[in-house]
A and B are shown apart, each in its own frame.
Chain A
Amino acid sequence: MNFEELYQELILDHSKRPRNFGPLPDATVTVKGDNPSCGDEVELSAKLTPDTVETLKFTGHGCAICMASASLMTIKIKGKSRQEAAAMAKAFRHMLVTPEETAVPESFGDLEVFSAVRRFPQRVKCATLAWRALEQALSTVPAAPVSTEEND
């Protein structure tokens, strides 16, 4: 194994210059995810409508795999329906625990670069941190917006 396989150009690029990095002032939900075993932290903010993930951004710090995964995730998920987003997150997490020879679905696009993580089981958590935050965001906010204020 050559580590260039794990740290492909795309991953290095997105870890050094993460896209959609920064605060999202009009977020409807913010989820903080952390990996207590290494100290990585990703805070994901998303603007959700009842049906779609209109936009999403993140802040935080972590290893190259973690940052690149968060960055590529925001690009992939932006504008997707909530249902599609949830399905993609599930499929991505599933892909990381499949055997190395299992083909990666075409729908993954650029996310295919993370297939090499399968050879490094201890790094799977790095690649899934942002995706877990996304799943949390999708599940904590009901499809219809809620308010903390009483509406009488």
Chain B
Amino acid sequence: MPSTNSWLSIRQDFPILDQQVNGHPLIYLDNAATAQKPRAVLDCLDHYYERDNSNVHRGLHELSNRATTAYEGARERLAAYIGAEAGEIIFTRGTTESINLVARTWGDAHVGEGDIILLTEMEHHSNLVPWQLLAKRKGASLRFVPVTPDGLLDLSNIDELLAGPVKIFSFVHISNSLGTINPAAELCARARLAGVTTLVDAAQSSGHLPLDVRELGCDFLAFSGHKMCGPTGIGILWGRKDILAAMEPFHGGGEMIASVGFTESEFKPAPYRFEAGTPAIAQAIGLGAAAEYIDGIGRAAIFDHDQALARQAVDLLEEIPGLRILGPRHDRGGLVAFVLKDAHAHDIVSMADQYGLALRGGHHCTQPLLRKLGVPASARASFYFYNTPEEVEQMAAIVRKIQTFFA
């Protein structure tokens, strides 16, 4: 585990963090929305565009060769990152597109009238709306694992929920609005026993803790590059090889075909079958660099660091009058969402910004969950490995000032 000093030197890798915002040093605590990019990733993008930029897989010249090698190298890097094979890694635009891909291709083929799609009440809109659309197309229905008032999944009757014509169980690994870490491996094992296919939404976990798809035992895993120090516009869908091999294409176009006639075409095998058109080449290569950078620090160490900051934040925020923390108290990922009796989330975030503190305020794309918890909107501080205990202290002090102002 890096020492305090080396965490500080890791922070130097992020040029964006060294700036003043509204006359104060930036305290960036909106990492669950998007993470900052280290010099290694920025340099990688520069190098690609300055030296290697070319289209992949179809050029016969040197630059195309280099671009293809780097692009496929990134695929291998991402495969190693989650314990998978390169042929199982599909580049998408992000978690949202990954889930839509599964709902459209696997879903259309396997979910029919009267079938059930099992989700949880703590899903992000991106793991809810694609399934609502699928259910509507097919005459299927949605079922939900309930959330307890403590912000945990109520698993007391999970086997009953998995019973019946349930075709897929898609759930979030770490909740973006509660910080809850769901027991993904256990849930996948239960689903497998019930013959139910699983998708794990790893948007909030992929950059924060070690992930191995064989250990998780899931069938699909989706995550975004930009939440783990990579560029925007790139993400991963991992699928088990045998499942991908049987899936129909998602988008049609160049790059995904084996041969094309005027009326019919034959498609390449996975993963290319699912990557129509010129892909986000630089972004994929940048994501590969991000994965390499993160593993240079170590995800186990990152997880400990994030959790320690979240614990510290919970302890400090709890002292503030009229402040309610959402989700489990201590056993949580690196984020803390809260509401103040006297101040609305938007007012908190606007004022925090005047101190150079970047928080998120709103429903965090989990409207049904917050409605159930009886909270219209919450403020959220989310941490990453470049954040420091001093920043957490300053954050709590600023929130205290805001509380006093509105009380």
Contact = CB atoms under 8 A, between A and B. Distances in A.
Interface string B390-407: 000000000000000110
A62 B350 contact: no
A39 B367 CA distance: 8
Interface residues of A, number: 20
Chain B interface secondary structure, helix, strand, loop or mixed? helix
B376 interface: yes
Interface in A109-126: 120, 123, 126
A38 B350 contact: no
Interface SS, A side: mixed
A41 B362 CA distance: 13
Contacts of A37: 362
Contacts of A3: 350-351, 354, 405
Interface residues of B, number: 18
B39 interface: no
B376 A64 contact: no
Contacts of A38: 345-346, 361-363, 377
A27 interface: no
A29 interface: no
Interface in A2-42: 2-3, 6-7, 12, 37-41
B350 A39 contact: no
B347 A7 contact: yes
B22 A1 contact: yes
B359 interface: no
Contacts of A6: 350
B370 interface: yes
A40 B344 CA distance: 10
Interface of A: 1-3, 6-7, 12, 37-41, 61-66, 120, 123, 126
The 4 nearest A-B residue pairs measured at CB:
A63-B344, A63-B346, A39-B376, A39-B377
